[in-house]
Amino acid sequence: MQEATFLILTALASGSQHGYGIIADVREISGGDVTLRPGTLYTALERLRTDGLVAVDREAIVDNRLRRYYRLTPAGSERLAAEATRLRANATTALMRLSPAPGGAT
């Protein structure tokens, strides 16, 4: 799973959000490292919708502009959980190997 996809799913994990909200949330989640652009975001959302991981929750018109809210589907939640578990396992392994072994060479 690409980082952008992972971050979009993470942004939606706490509730439905519209496109602008996802961009802002991804920026916050990544500590300002990743800022999605609209083209990238909507290409990813299109793919996630087609794969059944994300669905449209509702629509609203704000200032005469369409605002569509997206939410995670159950399949999306499962996929995100699996990916998060995989990343955590990888990170744990990396940290374990970096930490000095007791009695090992310095």
Partner 1 sequence: MSAGARRPGAYAPSARSETSRPGTDAILERRYRRLLACYPRFFRRESGDEILAVLMDCARPGQRWPSPGECADLLGSVVRMRLDPGRSSPPRAITRAARLMRVGAATEIAGLVIALATASSVQSALVRQHVTFLAGQWRDLLLFVEVGVPVPCFLWLWLAWASGRGHRWARSAFVGLFGMYTLIVLSKFAAGAATYAPADLVVVGIQWIIGLAVVLLLFSRSADTFYRHRSMPPAAARAR
Cα separation of 37 and 92, whole Å?
Answer: 31
Shortest separation between residue 101's beta carbon and partner 1, angstroms:
29
Site for partner 1 in 41-100 (CB under 8 A): 41-43, 46-47, 49-50, 52, 55-59, 62, 65-68
Of the candidate residues 1, 13, 29, 40, the single one contacting partner 1 (CB under 8 A): 40
Residue 66 DSSP SS3: strand
Beta carbons within 8 Å of 102's beta carbon, 6+ residues apart: none
Cα separation of 41 and 27, whole Å?
Answer: 12
Q: How many residues bind partner 1 (CB under 8 A)?
A: 38
Shortest separation between residue 81's beta carbon and partner 1, angstroms:
21
Task: Kindly tell me which of 46 and 104 has the beta carbon lying closer to partner 1.
Answer: 46
Structure tokens at 106: 């310095």
The answer to whether 14 contacts partner 1 (rule: CB under 8 A) is no
Q: Could you count the other beta carbons within 10 Å of the beta carbon of residue 49? A: 15
Beta carbons within 8 Å of 95's beta carbon, 6+ residues apart: none
Residues forming contacts to partner 1 in the complex (CB under 8 A) are: 2-4, 7, 19-20, 23-24, 26-27, 30, 32-43, 46-47, 49-50, 52, 55-59, 62, 65-68
